[in-house]
């Protein structure tokens, strides 16, 4: 459990996961004087390059997890799919944030949807799928246009198949090897936004401006602030996000993705997903805010006061994905492009290798 006494500089912060989010968290923590230890099963993890120490071991190696956690003052995660057994085992030896409940809900799409509906937070209609026979009744109930999603381990479009007229649903469910899934009705939304909040150990919560998010091939391509969405809807997004954070007794940065249907609908916003971590759509905060999402996550889990989320500039963040990386020299020579590269050695399609932020004067 978190204590209410702030961790002093020099304390040790452990991070499960060594990708780009762990890398940026480690940089933020080091700037505040903390020593960061990364735990990852992958050799050459990008976060290793900027951390004080690292451990290379499987997440299922509970002896290594114990040895890691015993050295830490607090442990956090850079992505939500850390095995719960691993995370809960670490909690026996040090503080952890966020709590395991948040990960458990975010790891299972069905659990996430049941959590949201239990707290009267609107989502797209869905049906639980446990076998081939369920998909027929789901289509009968919701119509043929929908997305079949595995309950676990889906991100950036992985673990998803779009169904519709002319698509054999039996083939789709077999492609999932009969994994438990959900069938979600496709909603004709106008655009997507996310709400990124930081909540401290006392329950204080702050919000960044909601970015408008654009995707290509089901991977985030660009985030824009301001979003262009009416303030009434951003306020509603903040209210839903605060409710989620409070119900989870959340500590750290939390992102909630929304479909915007707009005014005139019964529900002008629907929650798409919860991400109990720092988020790709919040990368613009590093250059457009005095206190970015990474620093506020570290501040929250260390028991410090939260920094201001005020935005000093308009911004656009664009991801560098796959062979976009071949243009690194062009990006580097563009005076208006603030370049962030993640140090990943392998270039492959669909892999996030960096991002660029462009700043504009606030109008």
Per-residue pLDDT tens for 230-277?
999 999 999 999 999 999 999 999 999 999 998 888 899 999 999 999
The domains spanning 12-96 and 125-185 adopt the same CATH topology: no
- The verdict on domain 191-360 having CATH code 3.30.470.20 is yes
- Using pLDDT thresholds of 50, 70 and 90, give the confidence band for residue 340: very high
pLDDT of residue 163: 73
pLDDT of residue 1: 46
Whole-angstrom distance, CA of residue 191 vs CA of residue 270: 11
Q: Which CATH superfamily is domain 125-185 in?
A: ATP-grasp fold, A domain (3.30.1490.20)
Measure Cα distances from 276 to 84, 214, 313 in Å: 13, 21, 26
Q: Where are the domains of the chain?
A: 12-96, 125-185, 191-360
Q: Which phi and psi angles does 87 have, rounded to 5°?
A: -65, -45
Measure Cα distances from 354 to 297, 323, 326 in Å: 20, 11, 12
- Using pLDDT thresholds of 50, 70 and 90, give the confidence band for residue 167: low
- Using pLDDT thresholds of 50, 70 and 90, give the confidence band for residue 169: low
- Using pLDDT thresholds of 50, 70 and 90, give the confidence band for residue 334: very high
Within 13 A of 319's CA, how many CA atoms are on the CB side?
A: 24
Model confidence at 155: pLDDT above 70: no
- Mean pLDDT score of the chain: 92
pLDDT, tens digit (0-9, with 9 covering 90-100), for 266-296: 899 999 999 999 999 999 999 999 999 999 9
Model confidence at 156: pLDDT above 60: no
Query: Which range, of 35-49, 151-165, 256-270, averages the lowest pLDDT?
Result: 151-165
Measure Cα distances from 60 to 46, 64, 87, 156, 256 in Å: 21, 9, 10, 24, 29
Mean pLDDT confidence for 91-116: 97
Pairing state of beta strands 160-163 and 146-150? antiparallel
- Using pLDDT thresholds of 50, 70 and 90, give the confidence band for residue 126: very high
- Using pLDDT thresholds of 50, 70 and 90, give the confidence band for residue 168: low
Q: Is 138 in a helix, a strand, or coil?
A: helix
Pairing state of beta strands 12-16 and 74-77? parallel
Fold of 12-96: Rossmann fold (3.40.50)
Q: Cα dihedral sign for 79, 281, 211, 122?
A: negative
């Amino acid at each position: 459990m978190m204590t209410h006494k702030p961790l002093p500089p020099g304390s040790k912060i452990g991070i499960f996961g060594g990708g780009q989010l762990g890398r940026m968290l480690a940089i933020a923590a080091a700037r505040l004087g903390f020593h960061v230890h990364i735990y990852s099963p992958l050799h050459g993890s990008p976060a290793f390059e900027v951390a004080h120490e690292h451990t290379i071991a499987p997440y299922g190696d509970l002896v290594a997890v114990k040895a890691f956690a015993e050295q830490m003052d607090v442990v956090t995660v850079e992505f939500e799919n850390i095995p719960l057994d691993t995370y809960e085992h670490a909690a026996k030896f040090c503080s952890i944030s966020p709590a395991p409940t948040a990960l458990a809900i975010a790891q299972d799409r069905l659990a996430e949807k049941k959590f949201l509906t239990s707290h009267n937070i609107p989502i797209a209609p869905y049906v639980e799928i446990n076998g081939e026979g369920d998909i027929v009744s789901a289509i009968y109930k919701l119509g043929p246009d929908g997305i079949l999603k595995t309950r676990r381990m889906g991100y950036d479009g992985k673990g998803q198949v779009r169904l519709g007229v002319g698509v054999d649903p039996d083939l789709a469910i077999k492609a999932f090897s009969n994994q438990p899934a959900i069938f979600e009705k496709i909603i004709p939304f106008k655009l997507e936004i996310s709400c990124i909040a930081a909540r401290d150990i006392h329950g204080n919560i702050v919000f960044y401006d909601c970015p408008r998010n654009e995707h290509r091939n089901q991977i985030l391509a660009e985030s824009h602030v301001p979003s262009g969405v009416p303030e009434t809807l951003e306020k509603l997004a903040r209210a839903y996000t605060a409710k989620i954070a409070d119900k989870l007794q959340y500590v750290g940065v939390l992102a909630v993705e929304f479909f915007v249907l707009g005014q005139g609908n019964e529900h002008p916003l629907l929650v798409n997903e919860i991400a109990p971590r720092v988020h790709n759509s919040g990368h613009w905060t590093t250059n457009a805010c005095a206190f970015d999402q990474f620093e506020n996550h570290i501040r929250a889990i260390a028991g410090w006061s939260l920094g201001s989320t005020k935005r000093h500039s308009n911004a656009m963040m664009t991801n560098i994905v796959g062979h976009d990386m071949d243009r690194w020299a062009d990006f580097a020579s563009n005076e208006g492009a603030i370049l962030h590269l993640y140090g990943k050695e392998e270039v492959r399609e669909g892999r996030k290798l960096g991002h660029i932020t462009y700043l504009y004067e606030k109008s």
